[in-house]
Structure 1
Amino acid sequence: MLVVMAVVAAALVASATRADAQAGAGAAGEMGAARLYRANLFAEDGVDPRRIVDRGLAPELGPVGMIETAQPITFNRRTGVVRGTAFLISPCYAISNRHLVFGDETDNLVAAENSMKIWLGFSPGGGFDAFTLATPVAWGRRTLAGTNDWAISRLKTCVGRRVGWMDIQPEAPLRLAGAWVATAGYPGDKPRGELWSHARCRIRFPDRRVGLLTHDCATVAGMSGSPIYKRLPDGSLKAVAMTVGNKNDSRRVMTIYGRNFANTAMDLAGVFADPQLKQMILDDIAAFGRENPSSSPEPQAAGGSATDARR
């Protein structure tokens, strides 16, 4: 089975068996973990800033899932299963990029029932502890530049009631300029199913020409749909944006940020400006009737960290 690791401006082609796709585990893409593929990483010391997430110490990241199309689609003129990142925004709904759902399609879009697969949560022994199918129910009018590249899917099984969801904090693009944030997702240059984070990065400025935010958070093929979030003093997370792609690609860690290699994201305020969409999510949370299971992370042990030093 052909697998396409998706970022709008970059795609990683890898092979995987059907069993791997169903289990949500397997080897990294054919480019391998030792080589950056269509990535934009920034760090003053030239060292990859990403860290693997210690699943036992970061339950608040349980709602960040790996997503795949259930059937091959055409993306970047290649046909195969498209894989990326999604995150839950309520017990029964997940958000990701539209290009992960429909690929290159722009007209006459029809979302098939259960057309997406999503793995979530953390099992005690590592890996995921939740899997469900999902059906896209709403999406933006995506442009070639990546504007409005979002899709919301309804989960067949509302696993967010157990693993929780990521709270949304819509903020206007100009208010986000200069904000310190973090991101987490499933990059294609790492073993499949491993969650990696960039714990301190920055939203740079809105690119008004295309209606996207630019940022220096690590972006690699497979990170499409990753949440960009703020971590509050109590340890809870508030998602403010979602990764879309990048402008140009680099195969090395860049020590100086440059606009020509900026990574791109869309602010979530634009998505939830639609009152019906916003109400749909609020109603789903209200129907659950209990506290978000991921909003009160357990205190870390002394000296503990949610990210491992392994690169």
Structure 2
Amino acid sequence: MVTIVEKTAGLAAFVRTVDSGSFSGAGRILGASPSAVSKSVARLEKRLGVRLLQRSTRTLSLTAEGSVYYDFVAPLLQGIESAEDVVQSAGSAKGLLRITVPVLVGRSLVSGWVKEFSERSPNIKLEVTVTDRNVDMIREGYDLAIRIGNLDDTGLIGRHLADIPYLLVASPAYLASRGHPESVADLQDHACLRYLLAGRPYAFIFADGRSYLPDGCFDTDDAVTLIQAAMEGVGIVQLPAFALRTEIERGTLTRVLPNDLMATTSIHALHAFGRQVPMRVRLFIDYLMETSERLL
């Protein structure tokens, strides 16, 4: 009879190899050599009687059987790891906290978070992925996601952190050349930079409910690129205020239509733990709740 210990042997090696994309990456996470991880996965494949990973000299990829197996065992492994975290006290909290954040948050806020939170909880290691892609938190092994805007019905648990205003800005050089728009209607005579959300341009939305979708001279789904383009004098852009604070203070960007207030949007922290939230996650959410108004 195969014991539960024998059945679970190699699971961590397999899941971490898929998560990191390599045996060496899994080894760094598990504290083992790449060869030890590779052998552990091979023993798992031998016991199951199927190949889970396709190996080449440069890449690893899941087989069809490996993909199905991963979808089943990855959440189970995360649950086992989380079970120990749930019973930790705040003072003893430790471990890896994997977070995904949008590009603008990563550019503007993460360095401050890392310094302050690390001083509070020195035994918790932060691993932050900066991307505007909505990751699959369970499949990809993330503990927490920071999201801007309306939340989709994904089954994730959300904590509201703050409401953040948008601003319209342009470079002083652009405004000197093209003039300052005096009304929303004047925007049609200006070059506008548009943020692409799910492949569609995001409208300029004002606090009083007005909405204007300009003919964009430049569209991209990379907010940092939009900021750079605006600073180069390409046109007028709409972005969250916290992402523009430094440029406005330095004078490299100037507010446009400052008397026409823009709409606000929400920023949330999301997790998939239900009511049994690991202590390391709870501590970081509590930190964000305390500091979000100041940092944003």
Q: Flag whether TM exceeds 0.5 (same fold).
A: no
TM-score computed with the length of structure 2 as normaliser: 0.24
Kindly indicate which of the two structures has a greater share of residues assigned to helix.
Answer: 2
Higher RCO (C-alpha 8 Å, min separation 6): 1
Larger radius of gyration: 2
TM-score computed with the length of structure 1 as normaliser: 0.24
